[in-house]
Chains A and B, each alone.
Chain A
Amino acid sequence: MNYILNHPLRVAALAAGHLELVAVALVVALAIALPLGLFAARHPRIAPWLLGTLGAIYTIPSLALLAVLVRWVGLGFAPIFVALVVYAQFMLTRNIVAGIAGVDQAQVDAARGLGMSPTQVLLRVEFPQALPVMIGGVRIAAIAMIAIATLGGYVGGVGLGVLIFNGLTLHQPQMIVAGSLAASALSIVVDMLLRLGERRAATP
């Protein structure tokens, strides 16, 4: 705690970097997960295989995945960014599928019968109702990514993990505590904000 009070700018800068890393990775991960999740929702026979594969990938220890990624793309922003995008897929895709599958099929049938095109059914009927569950997936993914992103301090000089890993090397526990506390605080704030979003998106 002292460290944070004595070095507010440094911690803030690292926290900003941490948040930026997670946010960018989340956006890219969503861009991949949305079509993927949609595909899985429309093809219920393939869905278990897809989600199973993503789930298996999720169980790969993050350090191991990072080691492989560093070999391919080097150190810095890139390996931790890719790792975050990969890990987020499982949680995002799973909730997208659940959200869309959770929409009452009678509504989809009625929507089609009334004359909505497939895109219109998706945008006007399915997405608005799937949104709370999907935001829930984003929330879960964001929390996990904030934690995994601490490894960015190990391979990329990015984020609050820098404090943690520097603290380990320099044998300065106050740095480790500062990094961990700040990361936890980020998690809590993000969780709160996204829960609000979930609630507001819910159908009354």
Chain B
Amino acid sequence: MKGQIRYEHVTIRYPGSDRNAVDDVSFECGSGELVVLLGPSGCGKSTLLRTVNRLVPLDAGHVFVDGADVTQRDAVELRRSIGYVIQAIGLFPHMTVAQNVAVVPSLLGWDRQAIARRVDDLLRLVGLDPDSYRTRRPSQLSGGEAQRIGVARAIAARPHALLMDEPFGAVDAVVRSALQRELVRIVAELETTTLFVTHDVDEAFRLADRIVVMRAGRLEQVAQPHELFEHPATAYVAEIVHAGDDVFRRYFLHGRELLRGGSQ
């Protein structure tokens, strides 16, 4: 049950609109799974993501993390147990890299030595040399480095679940590939349940154990990547994966292989 995320009939209304931002969504992420929320802008995927750490309130339904309804837990305490990465990263420019990464452990009251050790471990984990990066300021980082720090910061306190909202959208394609590969490796190593939002079909196929396709607040299909090709549930799904087009099929699955080194 570690890091399991479950949505049950979740509905979120748009004020002043007859359409719901999220409409009766139910699905589950297994422990350690990397689930991608895929859909066009405005489909409600980010909104849905942010219900897990209660940054967005529900109008109907329930969200469960580790088997417990999130509204039953103190919001601040809940958020400290769930990792959160956003596209703009939001590193704190008045703190060093080490201080940024150490935010959640220090909120949790870890002792200084434990924090220092953890920071170094995390920097290495995301592929950065601690000695060079520890005392740097965010203004001295490249886009890719900053996003690695963002990830390090999110997983610093060893959360069971990780929420990522289009985290690689702002970096160029070369850096993005590298980051995607790193993420898959890290998440597998730490067995962290990861909910990843993107509008990029390519990225979804590379990263996901399962993909949740959304449109206009509703679920279109929840399935493993190859099933979206073979058995698209709706016309929309068929369209975005270019079902039936063998060239695209091989392109997507090849990209996945490259990233993951073989299986699936």
* Contact residues on B (Cβ < 8 Å of other chain), bracket: 20 to 34
Which residues in B have their C-beta under 8 angstroms from that of A76?
none
> Is B107 within 8 A of A111, CB to CB?
no
Contact code string B53-64 (vs A, CB < 8 Å = 1, else 0): 101000000000
Known: A128-B94, A203-B93, A204-B137. A114 touches B103 (CB 8 A): yes
> Is B90 within 8 A of A111, CB to CB?
yes
A61: shortest Cβ distance to chain B, in Å? 41
Binding stretch for chain A, among B79-87, B194-202, B256-264? B79-87
Known: A106-B88, A109-B55, A109-B86. A114 touches B154 (CB 8 A): yes
Residue from B78, B93, B104, B150 having most chain A Cβ neighbours under 10 A: B93
> Is B80 within 8 A of A115, CB to CB?
yes
Known: A106-B88, A113-B86, A115-B104. A203 touches B76 (CB 8 A): no
Which residues in A have their C-beta under 8 angstroms from that of B90?
104, 106-111
Which residues in B have their C-beta under 8 angstroms from that of A78?
none
Q: List A88-136 residues whose CB lies under 8 Å from chain B.
A: 104, 106-117, 120, 124-125, 128-129
Interface of B with A (CB < 8 Å)? 50, 53, 55, 76-81, 84, 86, 88-94, 103-104, 107, 137, 139, 150, 153-154, 163
> Is A117 within 8 A of B94, CB to CB?
no
Cα-based distance from A106 to B77 in the complex (angstroms): 20
Known: A129-B93, A204-B139. A116 touches B86 (CB 8 A): no
Interface of A with B (CB < 8 Å)? 104, 106-117, 120, 124-125, 128-129, 203-204
SS class, residues of chain A in contact with chain B? helix
> Is A203 within 8 A of B94, CB to CB?
yes
Residue from B50, B81, B90 having most chain A Cβ neighbours under 10 A: B90
> Is B89 within 8 A of A115, CB to CB?
no
Residue from A107, A113, A204 having most chain B Cβ neighbours under 10 A: A113
Known: A120-B107, A204-B139. A112 touches B92 (CB 8 A): no
Which residues in A have their C-beta under 8 angstroms from that of B163?
113
Cα-based distance from A118 to B50 in the complex (angstroms): 17
Cα-based distance from A120 to B106 in the complex (angstroms): 12
Known: A106-B86, A204-B137. A113 touches B53 (CB 8 A): yes
Which residues in A have their C-beta under 8 angstroms from that of B77?
115
Which residues in B have their C-beta under 8 angstroms from that of A107?
90-93
Which residues in B have their C-beta under 8 angstroms from that of A106?
86, 88-90
Query: A108 — nearest CB in chain B belongs to which residue?
Result: B90
List 13 extra interface pairs beyond A107-B92, A115-B107, CB under 8 A. Answer: A107-B90, A107-B91, A110-B89, A110-B90, A111-B90, A111-B92, A111-B103, A113-B163, A114-B84, A114-B154, A115-B76, A115-B81, A120-B107
Partner of A129, one of B76, B81, B94, B150: B94
